[in-house]
Amino acid sequence: MAIDMEQFRQVYLEESFEGLEIMESGLLELDPGKADSEEINTIFRAAHSIKGGSATFGFKEVTGFTHIMETLLDQMRSDEREVTPAIVDLLLRSVDCLHEMFVDLKAGDAINQSRVDGVQEELERMLGGESATTASAGPDSEAADGAAAVAVTEGWEIVFVPFAGMLKTGNEPLRILRALRELGELEVVVERDQVPTLEHLQPEECALGWKLRLKGAVARDEVTEIFEWVEDDCELSLTEISAGHVAQEQSQQQVADASQSVVAAAPKEAGATRKKASGGNKQQSSSIRVAIEKVDALVDMIGELVITQSMLSQIGDNFTVDMIERMREGLAQLERNTRELQESVMQIRMLPISFAFNRFPRVVHDLSATLGKKVELVVSGEGTELDKTVLEQIGDPLVHLVRNSIDHGIELPDVRVANGKPEVGTVNLNAYHQGGNIVIEVSDDGAGLNKQAILNKATQQGLIEEGEHLSDADAFDLLFRPGFSTAKEVTDVSGRGVGMDVVRRNVRTLGGNVEVTSNPGVGSTFIVRLPLTLAILDGQLLRIGNEIFIIPLVSIIESIQVNMEFVNSIAHQAEVYQLREEYLPIIRLHDRLQLDEGNKDLENGLLVVVEADGKRAALMVDDLLGQQQVVIKSLETNFHKMMGISGATILGDGTVSLILDVAGLMNDSVVNAAVQTMGSASGKGNSGQQNSPVIH
């Protein structure tokens, strides 16, 4: 019988990624000059396991590379070689190189041999007694990804072809081109071959591509950072222009090939292609590891369900009127079994957030070294569980928040000492459950946010009027505007204003929100709230006209009967409701959802007070029908996304009910104006009618 090796190959690749995480965390724990033999043994065993499996599956490049790493690690564990920062740094870059190799192998792509050869030569020089740092062509050689032959960089040839749906993710291709132009002289050629005829043109879809030539001594990392948030949504080819004409000719040929078909995959030249498909990040795993206890619980529940089914079957076969009570008991038991089975299945999808937190020690290590800062990472709540889908998508936004804390928050050591702080700054990562959500806090003990600097920048950009007063919450909310940055100069880490708006957008896509608190001189905290799962939610059923809608319970503050004495209108023709000392914009869902049926008289309706992103509003509905746990069904496969609708579900009677998106409903020009006006007039320490902008 033929053995299907593909399944074993996939298992090996998954285990190899886990082994690389063990190696990286172990290397970060090593204390230079004080060899921890047990820690080195752990790293060595992980490398040895990777090497053994690679030989089995014929991955010769991996086998040879890890063999050299093994030799260096063996010298360290036998005290033949001292643990130095240079060795730790080289081994960390070697782990990165292995990671890229496995990403390529998993995707079925060719390994970037030039990168492998470059790092492998550094390992061999280190084994030969030559320092990797002195043997390389200077500090810029690391930025060139360890290329074996580092040429003088004259610039980059870039092929940038956005996928059709890029605009729907909130990313703006022209903003990327403007950011590239800040790095050096930029030549732009627009590819319009795929632009459809006028009758087939979709304004929300991108049909253009660009061939770019960036001139100047620009590091690869500076270029790739600009594309960091769109690399999953485009075809991207990056080729170095060197002093020698060979690389230049290759890049020109590559651009010529790409121009023949804008939507075709970019050339598979080693190291040139960042992402090759729209299927998402290669590192997202299609498999999941489950604790045996969870599987046992699921098997037990299946057994209970079978017993209940058998009991109901017997009642059905011999049914008489006096057996109605037994049938009711059986149905109640079936309901309990179904609920417990649902919980067991959902538990299988739950993973500890440590899977996302594990990357941050390396991020802090590398970035603090780059910025010349001393930073300690403190992690808590790493055992907190959340849905695998949420876990995979929250990693990148959290990385950006941590990088922001280190770059903008933590001060340089001499500045901290002068301010009476320890020279080592602290970044805290904390996760915990709160209600039906998971809360992730990224905090630091740095300088805190400079509110006045934020207001000055916002005034310069025309976001607010000069001298306009904003609360702390509203001022900090400006940080999430596209293109907003208070950095005085653009660096490899920050300053372009590309990132925080994408962080909020990605978090909102997951049904969550981001809040900011800060204390000058003490530090800042970014609070991310997310649902535990994207599959099920607890909802409130609403009747609007003849339709039934669902709103997440976590968004509801309270519901009230309308008292017309407290209804007023303001500029922009927006209605507001005075609830105690707060003024709430009224959103008439009949009008917002374009429904003709039902009651449109505010006096005969109900107001449901909801909150999203720290702002509140009152939704006018006809009736409240009760609460229910529902399974979320996506609409994006068959329908265009509609503002204010996040999904759908099927009710018990087979009716399809739409799920309302509170943040989307409040994202309306008139409502936003009312929210901003009300925010400055209430809930900020002032109250009463005299502080209200009510004019009608």
Give the structural domain span for 595. 536-691
pLDDT at res. 412: 94
Cβ atoms within 10 A of the Cβ of 190, count?
A: 9
- In total, how many domains does the chain have? 5
Give the N- to C-terminal CA distance of the chain in Å, as an integer: 84
CB 194 within 8 A of CB 258: no
* 177 has pLDDT over 80: yes
Cβ atoms within 10 A of the Cβ of 363, count?
A: 16
Write out the DSSP string of 19-80.
Answer: HHHHHHHHHHH-BTTB--HHHHHHHHHHHHHHHHHHHHTT-HHHHHHHHHHHHHHHHHHTTS
CATH number for position 234: 3.30.70.1340
How far lies 199's CA from each of 5, 263, 362, in Å?
50, 20, 51
Q: What is the mean pLDDT of the chain?
A: 78
CATH number for position 574: 2.30.30.40
Let me know if 142 is a catalytic residue.
no
* 436 has pLDDT over 60: yes
Let me know if 318 is a catalytic residue.
no
Could you tell me which residue, 68 or 130, shows the higher pLDDT?
Answer: 68
Model confidence at 374, in pLDDT bands (50, 70, 90)? very high
Closest CA relative to residue 608, chosen from 569, 568, 556: 556
Q: Is residue 669 part of a domain?
A: yes
* 409 has pLDDT over 50: yes
Rounded Cα distance between 513 and 440, Å, is: 11
Model confidence at 146, in pLDDT bands (50, 70, 90)? very low
Please check whether residues 342 and 379 belong to one and the same domain. no
Q: Is residue 255 part of a domain?
A: yes
**H or E segment to which residue 577 belongs:** strand 575-579
Mean pLDDT value of segment 38-46: 87
CATH number for position 433: 3.30.565.10
Rounded Cα distance between 176 and 227, Å, is: 7
**Which 3-state string (H, E, C) describes 115-166?**
HHHHHHHHHHHHHCCCCHHHHCCCCHHHHCCCCCCCCCEEEEEEEEEECCCH
Please check whether residues 51 and 116 belong to one and the same domain. yes
Q: What percent of the chain has pLDDT over 70?
A: 81
pLDDT at res. 672: 58
Model confidence at 682, in pLDDT bands (50, 70, 90)? very low
Q: Is residue 222 part of a domain?
A: yes
Rounded Cα distance between 505 and 440, Å, is: 16
pLDDT at res. 671: 56
Please check whether residues 139 and 173 belong to one and the same domain. no
Query: Which tokens belong to 575?
Result: 């209605």
Q: What percent of the chain has pLDDT over 90?
A: 13
Among the ranges given (5-14, 241-250, 500-509), the one the predictor scored with the smallest mean pLDDT: 241-250
Q: Is residue 666 part of a domain?
A: yes
Please check whether residues 388 and 474 belong to one and the same domain. yes
Domain boundary among 477, 510, 531: 531
Rounded Cα distance between 331 and 312, Å, is: 8
Name the 3-class secondary structure at 645: strand
Model confidence at 581, in pLDDT bands (50, 70, 90)? confident
Q: Is residue 674 part of a domain?
A: yes
Query: Which tokens belong to 439?
Result: 């809360």
pLDDT tens string 328-361: 888 888 888 888 887 788 788 888 888 888 888 9
Please check whether residues 479 and 376 belong to one and the same domain. yes
Burial 243-265 (b: 16+ CB within 10 A, else e): eeeebbebbeebbeebbeebeee
Rounded Cα distance between 624 and 416, Å, is: 55
Catalytic residue selected from 171, 358, 404, 430: 404
Given CA atoms 267, 230, 176, 407 in this order, what sign does their dihedral have?
negative
Please check whether residues 419 and 345 belong to one and the same domain. no
Model confidence at 285, in pLDDT bands (50, 70, 90)? low
CATH number for position 134: 1.20.120.160
Model confidence at 301, in pLDDT bands (50, 70, 90)? confident
* 690 has pLDDT over 60: no
**Helix, strand, coil percentages, rounded to 5, for the chain:** 45, 20, 35
Burial 546-574 (b: 16+ CB within 10 A, else e): ebbbbbbebbbeebeebeeeebbebeeeb
Could you tell me which residue, 247 or 628, shows the higher pLDDT?
Answer: 628
What's the DSSP call for residue 196? P
Rounded Cα distance between 477 and 268, Å, is: 42
Which stretches does DSSP call E strand in 246-354? 350-352
Q: Is residue 527 part of a domain?
A: yes
Please check whether residues 210 and 227 belong to one and the same domain. yes
Rounded Cα distance between 692 and 473, Å, is: 19
Q: Is residue 277 part of a domain?
A: no
What's the DSSP call for residue 229? T
Rounded Cα distance between 122 and 120, Å, is: 5
Mean pLDDT value of segment 365-387: 90
Among the ranges given (164-168, 320-324, 537-541), the one the predictor scored with the smallest mean pLDDT: 164-168
pLDDT at res. 668: 62
Domain boundary among 325, 351, 377: 351
Query: Which tokens belong to 84?
Result: 């130095």
pLDDT tens string 468-513: 888 888 888 888 887 776 665 545 555 444 468 888 888 887 878 8
pTM for this one? Answer: 0.60
pLDDT at res. 414: 93
Please check whether residues 604 and 490 belong to one and the same domain. no
Domain boundary among 324, 351, 378: 351
Mean pLDDT value of segment 603-607: 87
Which stretches does DSSP call E strand in 170-265? 185-191, 209-215, 234-242
Rounded Cα distance between 148 and 597, Å, is: 71
pLDDT at res. 463: 83
Let me know if 404 is a catalytic residue.
yes
Rounded Cα distance between 295 and 290, Å, is: 7
pLDDT tens string 652-680: 778 888 988 887 788 764 555 555 555 54
Please check whether residues 513 and 366 belong to one and the same domain. yes
Spell out the residues 6+ positions from residue 283 whose beta carbon is closer than 8 angstroms to its own: 17, 103
Cβ atoms within 10 A of the Cβ of 106, count?
A: 17
Q: Is residue 279 part of a domain?
A: no
Closest CA relative to residue 211, chosen from 186, 185, 231, 229: 186
Among the ranges given (15-19, 419-423, 440-444), the one the predictor scored with the smallest mean pLDDT: 15-19
Mean pLDDT value of segment 548-572: 85
* 276 has pLDDT over 70: no
Please check whether residues 597 and 661 belong to one and the same domain. yes
Catalytic residue selected from 14, 39, 48, 667: 48
Please check whether residues 443 and 543 belong to one and the same domain. no
Please check whether residues 248 and 360 belong to one and the same domain. no
Catalytic residue selected from 18, 21, 39, 70: 70
